């Protein structure tokens, strides 16, 4: 555990949806007295949570470091696909890949509404 998924200050390339597992979110915070920076735990993300959109939306560097607290399974969506999927205003029926995901045991109980439902795209499943 403790494997780094993304690091604060790095260039943004992907958006993540947690399918299973727990991650920790850390930010570098400056001590107002000593002016020294240290990494502080600011959030814990679990199954169904998403992260990585801030830097992608604003063309900025990563604003936090995310590490694995447990074994984590997630979907990683490339920046180009993220923009196409989330910036689109198309209203469509549920795509075939969502119907397929609903049949996979690991996705039982997963909040499918968190997965984009517009035109098909490449989605990389990563195991950390």
Of all residues in the chain, what percent carry a pLDDT higher than 90? 43
CA nearest neighbour of 95 among 123, 75, 73, 74: 123
Hunting for tokens 């989330």 — which residue is that? 86
CA dihedral sign, ordered 23, 16, 93, 96 = negative
Would the pLDDT of 121 be above 70?
A: no
Domain ranges of the chain: 4-127
pLDDT digits (tens, 9 = 90+) for 73-99: 999 999 888 877 776 655 556 776 777
Q: Which CATH class is domain 4-127?
A: mainly beta
Angle at 90 between CA 89 and CA 92, to 5 degrees: 145
Query: Residue 89 has what pLDDT?
Result: 57
Query: What is d(CA 30, CA 62) in angstroms, rounded to the nearest whole number?
Result: 17
């Amino acid at each position: 555990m403790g494997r780094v998924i993304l690091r604060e200050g790095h260039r943004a390339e992907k958006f993540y949806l947690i399918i299973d597992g727990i991650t920790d979110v850390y930010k570098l915070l400056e001590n107002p007295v000593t002016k020294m920076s240290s990494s502080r735990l600011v959030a814990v993300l679990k199954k169904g949570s998403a992260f990585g959109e801030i830097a992608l939306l604003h063309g900025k560097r990563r604003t936090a470091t995310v590490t694995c607290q447990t074994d984590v399974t997630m979907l990683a969506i490339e920046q180009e696909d993220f923009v196409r999927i989330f910036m689109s205003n198309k209203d469509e029926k549920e795509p075939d890949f969502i119907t397929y995901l609903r049949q996979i045991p690991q996705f039982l109980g997963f909040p499918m509404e968190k997965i984009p439902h517009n035109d098909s795209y490449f989605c990389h499943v990563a195991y950390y």
